[in-house]
Amino acid sequence: MAAAADRILEVRDLVKHFPLTSGVVLKRQIGAIKAVDGVSFDLNRGETLGIVGESGCGKSTLAKLLMALERPTSGSVKVNGREIANARGGELKRMRRNIQMVMQDPYTSLNPRMTVGDIVGEPYDIHTEVAPKGDRRKKVQELLEVVGLNPDHINRYPHQFSGGQRQRIGIARGLALQPEVIVCDEPVSALDVSIQAQVINLLERLQREFSLAYIFIAHDLSVVRHISDRVGVMYLGKFVELGKDAEIYDRPAHPYTQALLSAVPVPDPEGREQRERIILQGDPPSPANPPSGCRFRTRCWKAQEICAEQEPLLQIRPGTAHASACHFAETHDVVHVN
Amino acid sequence: MSELNTAVQEPKAHPRRKQKEKKPNSLWSDAWYDLRRNKVFLVGTAIAILLILMAIMPGVFAPQNPLACNLVDARQGISSEHWFGIDNQGCDTFSRVIHGARISILVGLLTSVVTGLVGGVLGLIAGFYGRWVDVILSRLAEIFFAIPSILGALLLLSAVGRDAAGVWTVVLALAILAWPMVLRIMRAAVITAKSQDYVTAARALGASPFRISVRHILPNAVAPVIVVCTMNLGVFIAGEAALSFLGVGIQSPNISWGLMIADARNRFLMAPEPLIFPAIFLSITVLSFVMIGDAVRDALDPKLR
């Protein structure tokens, strides 16, 4: 574990419940969607934490909570030791300089009525103390160059660029305030595979140049493995496993992680023969009414009585080197390839 | 650095536009480019400009004084001196038709601007803040929406009385009943724009609500309001004529096409000219603004792009 001084982001027992209401005039709460339900992790300077999980497991809600775009039901998010989840007004605005985001869809995340220069320069208009007015155009052009765009295109509009170029514009906007953390919410899922590689390489280069820390949310396991130092696997609003990327990918301990990994396409025909295919039955349960005890037990082949009665905590279990939330955790190499 | 090479490509151009111009092509300038090549827009604008010139300086188009009437000449037909004949009061119809353009265009423009501003601002507030602000504004708009427009304006203007009737009272009577339509359109467009990712991105940067609504939401929500306001121009001109025809709008000695039609209707078979010519001008005016509105909609509708 790194020293506390290196810790840039500290998330503790983060919970977000969206209320379900019924009634037209007098609304009453009949339940809650438990989108994020007790997530804790740390992020160190210059580190990349990958977060994987299937659709609806709470990945994007987690990103919104980290960015203080949603207020958590409970729990805390500390950036540089200061609480962002309850910050307001000027304090929150100052804290936003340290944590920025890159969004999923480059076609909707850029205002079509603004020029690239206005989009990338907007952070300076909002945080006027970062750059004096005269310098802004030059700074924007530098940023465009850093992300591999032609700085002369500063006066063009987003619809004149391709998807990959637009994503670079989004990255430049995220970099403008020189944040220490960038939350990437599926930054490459809307792009072609060849363009994905370019954007991933760009993100890695920027990480080295500016010693950025990334929260990298994706559902593509190979992309996450490529970029991450550590990986967290989410299921129904909780982490089921958290550890170094090699640990998670080569020695997965949680049955859900094993099932996920067994579904990754293997480009090598021989490896394809060797690997196991674990096919899960059924759909994920509703986050409004998650199963008692372990949330995965309804689809788990190892489930026993204890799984329904006692909730497994995310901790390092015997025989494994990283934290997992399963009563019967045991490492098991699913893919059988180096 | 292979990524650098692939990234610096020429951006995509507007499909029908050559990349000759130095100026960056925004969605607005693309729309303007399309508009300039739209025949319907050009015809509509040409007519509208002619009508606006008539409204600004009627003396150039009609040298005769529309109020210099001679009862002896009443109900004369078309002649080289009186192109549109002479009306029941002995006035030259041609010069009255030309002078009538001023009030029609003025009422149309003012009503359009007033409804656009009131409906637009309230729609932006309702859509942006949502919750109870939206509930109150939307219900209020629905109350006004439920009143049949000409009947409501008739009622309002007769309550005000003939003595007070003038351009502004007609404008207000029409605007009070028409702003809810603009509010609804603006509100819907704002709600659509509000949920876009670029608004979330601006919030993540720490942008103030004012900045978000003015810089991000308004430019993306204003297009349908512009279209409706342009199209409404013609509708309001027709509304003014209808109210003046019914006797509650513009009053003599002011000149209005609706008023002229009303004055001439009883003697239509004897002297049709004083009724036919203002009616033709009224139709052409309404048509020209509807044509412009139609073309603007085609140019601004992003779904056709």
Smallest CA–CA distance from B15 into chain A, residue: A160
Work out the number of other CB atoms within 10 angstroms of the CB of residue A190: 19
Q: What is the pLDDT of residue B3?
A: 42
Average pLDDT in the B206-230 region?
88
d(CA B110, CA B120): 15
**H-helix or E-strand containing B97?**
helix B93-129
State whether the Cα torsion A108-A112-A114-A120 is positive or negative: positive
Residue B256: pLDDT above 60? yes
Please, where are the H alpha helices in B130-217? 131-145, 149-160, 167-194, 197-205, 209-211
Q: What is the pLDDT of residue B58?
A: 76
For chain A, how big is the Rg over CA atoms in Å?
21
Low-confidence ranges of chain A (pLDDT < 70): 1-5, 25, 271-273, 333-338
Q: Judge: A96–B205 Cβ closer than 8 Å, yes or no.
A: yes
pLDDT band of residue B246 (cuts 50, 70, 90) is confident
Q: What is the pLDDT of residue A108?
A: 87
Which two structure tokens, joined as six digits, stand for A150? 């032609």
- Lowest-confidence pick of A54-63, B84-93, B272-281: B84-93
- Model pLDDT for residues B150-164, shown as the tens digit of each residue: 888 888 888 887 777
Which two structure tokens, joined as six digits, stand for B86? 């002479």
d(CA B127, CA B229): 19
Average pLDDT in the B276-305 region?
81
In 3D space, the residue among B185, B176, B78, B72 whose CA is nearest the CA of residue B124 turns out to be B185
**Pairing relationship of beta strands A99-102 and A181-185 according to DSSP bridges:** parallel
pLDDT band of residue B118 (cuts 50, 70, 90) is very high
Q: CATH class for domain B28-55+92-304?
A: mainly alpha
d(CA B15, CA B230): 27
pLDDT band of residue B24 (cuts 50, 70, 90) is low
In 3D space, the residue among B295, B290, B277 whose CA is nearest the CA of residue B108 turns out to be B290
Q: Note if the bond before A291 is cis, omega within 30 degrees.
A: no
pLDDT band of residue B302 (cuts 50, 70, 90) is low
Q: Is A223 within a domain?
A: yes
Q: Is A218 within a domain?
A: yes
Structural domain boundaries in chain B: 28-55+92-304
Q: How much of chain A is in helix, strand and coil states, percent to nearest 5? A: 35, 25, 40
Work out the number of other CB atoms within 10 angstroms of the CB of residue B94: 22
- Closest Cα of chain A to B18: distance in Å? 13
- Closest Cα of chain A to B225: distance in Å? 16
Q: What is the pLDDT of residue B110?
A: 92
Is the CB of residue A127 less than 8 Å away from at least one CB of chain B? yes
Is the CB of residue A297 less than 8 Å away from at least one CB of chain B? no
Q: Which residue among B3, B11, B211 sits closest to A202, beta carbon to beta carbon?
A: B3
Work out the number of other CB atoms within 10 angstroms of the CB of residue B88: 16
Q: Judge: A111–B25 Cβ closer than 8 Å, yes or no.
A: no
Rounded to two decimals, the ipTM of the complex is 0.83
**Which residues of chain A have a CB within 8 Å of the CB of B202?**
111, 122
Q: Judge: A113–B220 Cβ closer than 8 Å, yes or no.
A: yes
d(CA B207, CA A80): 22
A122: left (phi over 0), alpha (psi -120 to 50) or beta: alpha
What distances in angstroms separate CA B288 from CA A66, B52, B111, B234, B236, one per listed residue?
A: 54, 12, 17, 8, 13
Average pLDDT in the B230-237 region?
87
Residue B217 per-residue DSSP state: I
Q: Judge: B205–A177 Cβ closer than 8 Å, yes or no.
A: yes
Q: Which residue among B7, B28, B197 sits closest to A108, beta carbon to beta carbon?
A: B197
Q: What is the pLDDT of residue A334?
A: 67
- Model pLDDT for residues B186-201, shown as the tens digit of each residue: 999 999 888 888 998 8
pTM (predicted TM-score): 0.79
- Domain range spanning residue A97? 4-19+32-259
Residue B49's SS3 state is helix
Scored b (16 or more CB within 10 A) or e, A12-31 reads: eebbbbbeeeeeeeeeeeee
Q: What is the pLDDT of residue B220?
A: 85
Treating both helix axes as pointing N-terminal to C-terminal, what angle do A116-126 and A163-175 enclose, rounded to 10 degrees? 20
3-state secondary structure B114-131: HHHHHHHHHHHHHHHHCH
Which two structure tokens, joined as six digits, stand for A109? 């995340």
Is the CB of residue B15 less than 8 Å away from at least one CB of chain A? no
What distances in angstroms separate CA B168 from CA B62, B105, B244, one per listed residue?
A: 26, 13, 13
Is the CB of residue A155 less than 8 Å away from at least one CB of chain B? yes
Residue with tokens 């009255």: B96
Is the CB of residue A269 less than 8 Å away from at least one CB of chain B? no
Average pLDDT in the B254-276 region?
81
Residue B117: pLDDT above 90? yes
Q: Which residue among B25, B26, B204 sits closest to A96, beta carbon to beta carbon?
A: B204
CATH number, domain containing residue A153? 3.40.50.300
- Closest Cα of chain A to B145: distance in Å? 23
Residue A323's SS3 state is strand
* Contacts across the A-B interface (CB distance below 8 Å): 100
**Pairing relationship of beta strands A323-324 and A7-22 according to DSSP bridges:** unpaired
Q: What is the pLDDT of residue A199?
A: 87
Q: Which residue among B6, B24, B207 sits closest to A126, beta carbon to beta carbon?
A: B207
If you average pLDDT over each of A88-92, B84-88, B125-129, which comes out highest? B125-129
Q: What are phi and psi of A101, to 5 degrees?
A: -135, 155
pLDDT band of residue B4 (cuts 50, 70, 90) is very low
Q: What is the pLDDT of residue B65?
A: 74
d(CA A83, CA A87): 7
Q: Judge: A69–B204 Cβ closer than 8 Å, yes or no.
A: yes
What distances in angstroms separate CA A222 from CA A49, A238, B296, one per listed residue?
A: 14, 21, 48
**Which residues of chain B have a CB within 8 Å of the CB of A177?**
205
For residue A41, the cross-strand partners are: A11
Q: What is the pLDDT of residue B75?
A: 65
Count how many domains chain A has.
Answer: 1
Q: What are phi and psi of A246, to 5 degrees?
A: -65, -40
Residues 210-249 of B with CB under 8 A from A: 211, 215-216, 219-220
For chain B, how big is the Rg over CA atoms in Å?
24
Q: Which residue among A96, A105, A114 sits closest to B206, beta carbon to beta carbon?
A: A96
In 3D space, the residue among A331, A295, A298, A330 whose CA is nearest the CA of residue A310 turns out to be A295
Q: What are phi and psi of A34, to 5 degrees?
A: -90, 80
Is the CB of residue B209 less than 8 Å away from at least one CB of chain A? no
- For residues A182 and B204, the answer to whether their CB atoms sit within 8 Å is no
Average pLDDT, chain B: 80
Which two structure tokens, joined as six digits, stand for B181? 């339509």
Residues 164-203 of B with CB under 8 A from A: 196-198, 200-203
Q: What is the pLDDT of residue A130?
A: 80
Residue B257: pLDDT above 60? yes
